[in-house]
Amino acid sequence: MIKKVVKEYVLKECNSSRNAFGPAFVEEHLSVVAEYAKKLGKTLGADLEIVELAAWLHDLAAVQDLAALPRHPALGAEIARKVLRAQDYPEERTDRVARCILSHSVPVRKGGGLPEEVCVSNADAMAQIVKPVYWLHYVYRVRGFSFEEGRDWVRQRVESNWAALIAPARAMIEAERRQVREMLKL
């Protein structure tokens, strides 16, 4: 089964010493993105297999090399193509997964791309809102920000992601967002 193969590959990469995000990235981000992407997929009528594969693979380029972070959507799409082709996954479906990865960094609006792109990109933003503790770890430990820089980065990320989410995504995480805003004193 392709989902099992992909997930095992991603877990192996996340447990590698080269993963600057740390092994917690799986539970604190990737699995959260996969969960929300599938929920949105059910709501929007997206192909759930495409959504789940893209959710697991979307940050793989940055996991493999933190220096790739500025280019990780494009590099991640190429990695996904290689991984999926190696499993003889159909080319048209591989292209759809790659499109989701290419567009995941900013929430895609309904009608602005494939339904699967809308799901994965919004789920990525949702995960960044609902898991602020992980992102605090990221800004201080991984990026080495000062207290003020890190706090402001996380605050800005929560607010900008929220503003960009589609309505069904907002509805799913409204309670968590209120708690995060209170915690971050927004």
Q: How confident is the model at residue 32 (pLDDT cuts 50, 70, 90)?
A: very high
Is the pLDDT confidence value at 186 over 90? no
Cα distance between residue 16 and residue 42, in whole Å: 33
Mean of all residue pLDDT scores within the chain: 97
Of 21-25, 31-35, 171-175, minimum mean pLDDT range: 21-25
* Domain layout of the chain by residue ranges: 2-183
Summarised one tens digit per residue, pLDDT across range 137-148 is 999 999 999 999
Average pLDDT over residues 59-80: 97
Report field, pTM of the whole predicted structure over 0.75: yes
pLDDT at 19: 96
Contact 166, 118 (CB under 8 A): yes
Average pLDDT over residues 139-160: 95
Cα distance between residue 121 and residue 107, in whole Å: 5
Average pLDDT over residues 34-58: 98
Is the pLDDT confidence value at 185 over 90? no
Cα distance between residue 152 and residue 162, in whole Å: 15
- Domain 2-183: assigned CATH number: 1.10.3210.10
Cα distance between residue 55 and residue 47, in whole Å: 12
Summarised one tens digit per residue, pLDDT across range 82-119 is 999 999 999 999 999 999 999 999 999 999 999 999 99
Q: Does the CA dihedral 112-115-120-122 come out positive or negative?
A: positive
Q: What element of type H or E holds 107?
A: none
CA-atom Rg of the chain in angstroms: 16
Of the candidates 4, 85, 93, which has an alpha carbon nearest to the alpha carbon of residue 46? 93
